[in-house]
Amino acid sequence: MTSTSSTSAFDDRRPISMSFRHSQSGRPDSPHTPQHHLRSNNSSFASTSSASTSFRGEEDAIIFEFGARWLRAGFEGESTPMCVVGCGPEESRRVGDYRGWLRSNNETDSSRSQPVKADEWAGAYELWKMDVRDMDMALIDDKIERMFRETYNKYLLTDAGTSRLVLVLPSIMPHPLLSSLLSTLFSRWRFPSITLLTSAPMAVVAAGLRSGLVVDIGWAETVVSGIYEYREMAVKRSTRAMKSLLQETGRFLTRLSVDSGAAQSADEISVHYELCEEIASRFLWCKPKAASQGFTATPQQQPAEAREEDAGAADQHTISHSDATVSLPSPSGSGSTYIDLPFSKLAEPVEKVLFAEGLADCELDDEERPLPLLVYHALLSLPPDVRGTCMSRIVFIGGGSNIPGVRQRILQDVAFLVEKYGWSPVRGKVIEQQRQKLEGLRLSQPTKPTVTKQAGENETPDAAAERSTPDAQAEEEVDPIEQKIRRNNKDKDTHPPVHGVLREVESLGPWAGASLLTSLKIRGLVEIEREKYLQHGLAGASRDLEHGYAPDRRSGLRTGGDRSSWTLAGWG
């Protein structure tokens, strides 16, 4: 097992925004006064050094990032959120509910290990689902209100409702869920306005980019968003995410349990959720792509012998780690018993869930695509110029991106798909046969002898001058604007942007991007005022498609309509 010192170092090394456990949210052991002056002085985004920056103004916005399981909150201008609040059975206990003490005093209770269906096993730890047909919206309202009150009373320690609120939400959200969230916040507190920001562009902002491909390995689904100049160009989704991975890990641990009966259903889990989540966050890993499948990260930059040596060394390194044995707490529930299993077994759930190991592409639906194929199709749906920019700026966010080896494996598989199919969406045996015929014709054509240099040496100077006249004229036709730009930038070290190469870029996360954007006083596209929302709700949002008139260019004002109307933008 992992020692105490290594465990604490591991927890310190993990970023707050990517933590699996909501118990690592920095909950204070005793009431204390927060160091607001330290927070203001140490702000990573502070742009002034005046004395007034040591005091937080009441008009500073408060940023909340909502997820299916987590709520991150903090003040604008900070690089990390102040708290990460989770949603689970322990946080949903009412007055008089003593389940925590009953469980601690009765460790041998057999009811704790009763088999539960996979959906019910993980559903107790969700704040909401995208499928709102079977959801109790009143219960969602109460959960949101409780999480907000806990955040303000324990961590932010400020008056709720006096500051502007900024919400970072997924790009696609059901209207009943969005209406429930906004109605709860406006009715329970007196927020003057609420600004909505999407998570994918905020992750690009936190990476210091304007364009990129955001791969969000979240809880219920994995979302791949192509962002170009802060706008979403294409979005692809898959149900292969952390919820399915934890369920598969729970089934894997249930099969290892000694107490699990032989007649137990394959979809039932008898392992405690906390134990499964702890094992998943600490021991799950992903194998690199096998060298036999023909992948090379940068084949044009390395010789064949060097690539073979690197592949062999990587395989030996992986095999040595796969042969190791790890000790895990027994899934049966007895705290003093441990089980030993090969370290390679802990990579099987990741291979099966995230990469669909052993399944052909024709057997999968569009919403069940493995992550490399999902990223490839997202790049394929982009225009060529946007694709070249986004593929060189791939940003991974979400809890699943912290699994060791997942990012490298996705990039390796995407590079293998590009090398095999190119950027053509057409598949089939006939296409492969035509491609092989074209390659055969290209290889069968005799190479032209290199006589151009000798011919150039034997020709007369007059013929060479006549041949070079069109080239000289083409070189003389230079754009004057381009010459002016070159003169102005001759003292600057300008490097051409990276284009057309698969590359990963680190990001601080959507919350940090929203904090940076808000601290710069940049207004969001969706700003909802309190009075207007309480009058009409979501129905009061205007849509640009409904306006059948053009704006008056001379005065700059529209011929009709309410200038103060608000819109839902991408959420509409």
Can you give the pLDDT at residue 311? 47
Can you give the pLDDT at residue 399? 92
Q: How far is CA 371 from CA 60, 222, 224, 376, 508, in A?
A: 39, 8, 9, 9, 22
Of 218-227, 362-371, 421-430, 493-502, give the range with the top mean pLDDT. 218-227
Is the pLDDT score of 126 beyond 50? yes
Q: Which residue has the tokens 């009953």?
A: 102
Can you give the pLDDT at residue 10? 39
> Could you tell me which residues are beta bridge partners of residue 235?
225
Q: How far is CA 53 from CA 23, 39, 512, in A?
A: 32, 10, 19
CATH fold match for the domains 16-98+115-206+508-572 and 209-240+367-442+498-506: yes
Q: Does domain 209-240+367-442+498-506 have CATH number 3.20.20.80?
A: no
User: What pTM, to 2 d.p., does this model score?
Assistant: 0.76
Q: Which of 10-14, 308-312, 317-321 shows the lowest mean pLDDT across its residues? A: 10-14
In which band, very low, low, confident or very high, does the pLDDT at 380 lie, cut at 50, 70 and 90? very high
Burial annotation 508-543 (CB, 10 A radius, 16+ → b, else e): bbbbbbbbbbbbeeeebebebbbebbeeeebebbee
Architecture of domain 16-98+115-206+508-572: 2-Layer Sandwich (3.30)
Beta-strand runs (E) in 67-109: 70-75, 83-86
Q: What average pLDDT does range 224-240 have in this prediction?
A: 95
Is the pLDDT score of 124 beyond 90? no
Using alpha carbons, select from 565, 143, 216, 197 the residue that is nearest to residue 371.
216
Is the pLDDT score of 459 beyond 70? no
Provide CB contacts within 8 A for 250, sequence distance 6+. 118, 121, 269, 271, 273, 276
In which band, very low, low, confident or very high, does the pLDDT at 336 lie, cut at 50, 70 and 90? low
Using alpha carbons, select from 514, 536, 505 the residue that is nearest to residue 197.
514
Q: Where are the domains of the chain?
A: 16-98+115-206+508-572, 209-240+367-442+498-506, 241-353
Can you give the pLDDT at residue 12? 43
Q: What average pLDDT does range 194-221 have in this prediction?
A: 95
- For residue 359, count other CB atoms closer than 10 A to its CB: 12
- Higher-pLDDT residue of 298, 253: 253
- Could you tell me if residue 55 is left (phi over 0), alpha (psi between -120 and 50 degrees) or otherwise beta? beta
Is the pLDDT score of 75 beyond 90? yes
First to last CA, the chain: 50
- Dihedrals phi, psi of 225, to nearest 5 degrees: -120, 130
Residue pair 184/537 in contact by the 8 Å Cβ criterion? no
Q: Supply 24's token pair.
A: 């690592």
469 Cα distance to chain centroid: 55
Q: Supply 92's token pair.
A: 């949903």
Q: Which of 427-431, 444-448, 516-520 shows the lowest mean pLDDT across its residues? A: 444-448
What HEC string does 97-128 produce?
A: CCHHHHHHHCCCCHHHHCCEEHHHHHHCCCCC
Q: What average pLDDT does range 229-245 have in this prediction?
A: 94
Is the pLDDT score of 6 beyond 90? no
d(CA 247, CA 262): 19
In which band, very low, low, confident or very high, does the pLDDT at 555 lie, cut at 50, 70 and 90? very low
Can you give the pLDDT at residue 107? 47
Q: Across the chain, which distance is largest between two alpha carbons, in Å?
A: 103
CA torsion, ordered 256, 262, 263, 266, to nearest 10 deg: 30
User: Which tens digits make up the pLDDT trace of 35-67?
Assistant: 544 444 444 454 443 333 444 555 789 999 999
- Higher-pLDDT residue of 508, 549: 508
Can you give the pLDDT at residue 498? 87
In which band, very low, low, confident or very high, does the pLDDT at 513 lie, cut at 50, 70 and 90? very high
Is the pLDDT score of 177 beyond 60? yes
- Higher-pLDDT residue of 324, 390: 390
Can you give the pLDDT at residue 475? 55
Give SS3 for 75: strand
Can you give the pLDDT at residue 374? 96
Is the pLDDT score of 263 beyond 80? no
The percentage of residues in the chain with a pLDDT greater than 70, rounded to a whole number, is 69
- For residue 213, count other CB atoms closer than 10 A to its CB: 31
d(CA 35, CA 469): 74
Antiparallel, parallel or unpaired: β 394-397 and 212-217 = parallel
d(CA 344, CA 322): 5
d(CA 552, CA 540): 24
User: Which tens digits make up the pLDDT trace of 461-501?
Assistant: 555 445 545 554 555 667 788 788 777 777 666 677 888 89
Q: Supply 317's token pair.
A: 């390194």
Can you give the pLDDT at residue 279? 92
Can you give the pLDDT at residue 409? 96
What HEC string does 253-313 produce?
A: HHHHCCCCCCCCCCCEECCCHHHHHHHHHHHCCCCCCCHHHCCCCCCCCCCHHHHHHHHHH
Can you give the pLDDT at residue 482? 79
In whole numbers, what is the pLDDT of the chain averaged over residues?
77
Pairs from 45-53 (Cβ < 8 Å, separation ≥ 24): 45/77, 45/78, 45/79, 45/515, 45/516, 45/519, 46/77, 47/519
d(CA 171, CA 175): 12
Handedness of CA 134, 137, 143, 144 (dihedral sign): positive
Q: What average pLDDT does range 108-120 have in this prediction?
A: 67
Residue 21, classified by CB atoms within 10 Å of its CB into exposed (0-12), middle (13-18) or buried (19+), is middle
Is the pLDDT score of 2 beyond 50? no
In which band, very low, low, confident or very high, does the pLDDT at 333 lie, cut at 50, 70 and 90? low
The percentage of residues in the chain with a pLDDT greater than 90, rounded to a whole number, is 37
d(CA 164, CA 166): 7
Can you give the pLDDT at residue 19? 42
Q: Supply 275's token pair.
A: 């134990």
Can you give the pLDDT at residue 17? 39
Can you give the pLDDT at residue 37? 44
